[in-house]
C-alpha cells in the first residue's frame, strides 16, 4: 500500500524481521470503484447534511462513502443544486439541529482510519483544509482550533492509517508536491480511532466529529454489527465499531 511517512515512521528496532527481496516487488493492491445506486446516493446526500463546517470527518470504504464525499463536494461547489436535492428527498430534522447545508468557509479536518479515493478528492478540492498542530491547541472548543504553529510544524489537515483505492488514486498520491504531502499525517489505526493518547489536545482537534460508515447488519433491537453474517458465520472482529462508539462517548 502507499507510504506517506510522518507519524507512521518508526525506528528499525520495532520490527522482528525486515524482508528485502526486490524479486517479490509488485504493484500496490488496488480496489475498484463500486457503482453507486440511487439508494446510496440518497443516503449519502442526507448524511452529508450532518457535517458541520470546521468539523472532523471519517468515512468508510464503498459506494456509500463515495456518495457522502460527492455530496459534500456538491454542497461546497453547487450549493443551490445540493439544497434542492435535499428538499426533494425530505429534510432530516436531526440534520437541521446537528449539521449544516452551506459551503465550507473554514473547511474540514479528516481523521479517518481509511483514506479512500473519494475522501482524498475532498482534500484535492480544498474542502479538507482545517489544520491541527501537535503543539498546544486552544482549549476553548467553541473556537476554530487552528492551533499554535511551533517550529517546523506547519500543521496537517488529513490524518489516516492506510490509503486504499484504484490505481489512479495511487498515481495521484505519488504526484503530490512536498507541500501537499506535508499536510497529510499517516499514523497508526489506534491513533486515529481513539483519543486516549492526549485527550485534552485531541478533543479540541476533533471538533464536531462525524464518523460515517456502512454496516453488515442491523438487529431488531437497533444494533449495528459487522462481525458476522445473518447465518451466524463470523467474518471479522468487532474492531473499529467499538472504538467509534467509545470515541463518541468521549468527545463533546
CB–CB of 131/183 below 8 Å? yes
DSSP 12: G
* CA pair distance 180, 167, nearest whole angstrom: 20
95: pLDDT strictly greater than 50: yes
pLDDT (tens digit per residue) in 20-73 = 999 998 888 888 878 899 999 999 999 999 999 999 999 988 889 999 999 999
pLDDT at residue number 153: 64
User: Is residue 203 within 8 Å of residue 247, measured between CB atoms?
Assistant: no
**Tens digits of per-residue pLDDT, 174-206?**
999 999 999 999 998 888 888 877 788 888 899
130 φ/ψ angles, rounded to the nearest 5 degrees: -75, 120
Q: What tens digit of pLDDT does each residue of 142-169 get?
A: 344 444 344 456 799 999 999 999 999 9
Predicted confidence band at 139 (pLDDT cuts at 50, 70, 90)?
A: very low
Residues 42/224, Cβ–Cβ less than 8 Å: no
**Residue 171 pLDDT exceeds 80:** yes
On the question of pLDDT at 98 being above 70, the answer is: yes
Q: What's the pTM value of the predicted model, to 2 decimals? A: 0.86
- State the pairing for strand pair 56-59/109-115: parallel
Amino acid at each position: 500500500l502507499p507510504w506517506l511517512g510522518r507519524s507512521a515512521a518508526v525506528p528499525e528496532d520495532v520490527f522482528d524481521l525486515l524482508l528485502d527481496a526486490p524479486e517479490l516487488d509488485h504493484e500496490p493492491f488496488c480496489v475498484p470503484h463500486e457503482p453507486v445506486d440511487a439508494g446510496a446516493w440518497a443516503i449519502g446526500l442526507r448524511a452529508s447534511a450532518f457535517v458541520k463546517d470546521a468539523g472532523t470527518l471519517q468515512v468508510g470504504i464503498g459506494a456509500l462513502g463515495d456518495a457522502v464525499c460527492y455530496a459534500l463536494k456538491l454542497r461546497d461547489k453547487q450549493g443551490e443544486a445540493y439544497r434542492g436535492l435535499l428538499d426533494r428527498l425530505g429534510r432530516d430534522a436531526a440534520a437541521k439541529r446537528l449539521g449544516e447545508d452551506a459551503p465550507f468557509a473554514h473547511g474540514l479536518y479528516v481523521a479517518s482510519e481509511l483514506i479512500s479515493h473519494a475522501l482524498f478528492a475532498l482534500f484535492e478540492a480544498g474542502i479538507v483544509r482545517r489544520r491541527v498542530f501537535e503543539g498546544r491547541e486552544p482549549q476553548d472548543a467553541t473556537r476554530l482550533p487552528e492551533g499554535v504553529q511551533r517550529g517546523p510544524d506547519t500543521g496537517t489537515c488529513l490524518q489516516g492509517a492506510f490509503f486504499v483505492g484504484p490505481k489512479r488514486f495511487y498515481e495521484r498520491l505519488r504526484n503530490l508536491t512536498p507541500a501537499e504531502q506535508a499536510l497529510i499525517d499517516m499514523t497508526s489505526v489506534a491513533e486515529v480511532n481513539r483519543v486516549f493518547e492526549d485527550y485534552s489536545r485531541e478533543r479540541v482537534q476533533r471538533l464536531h466529529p462525524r464518523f460515517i460508515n456502512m454496516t453488515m447488519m442491523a438487529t431488531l433491537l437497533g444494533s449495528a454489527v459487522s462481525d458476522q453474517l445473518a447465518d451466524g458465520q463470523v467474518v471479522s472482529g468487532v474492531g473499529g465499531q467499538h472504538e467509534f462508539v467509545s470515541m463518541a462517548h468521549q468527545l463533546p
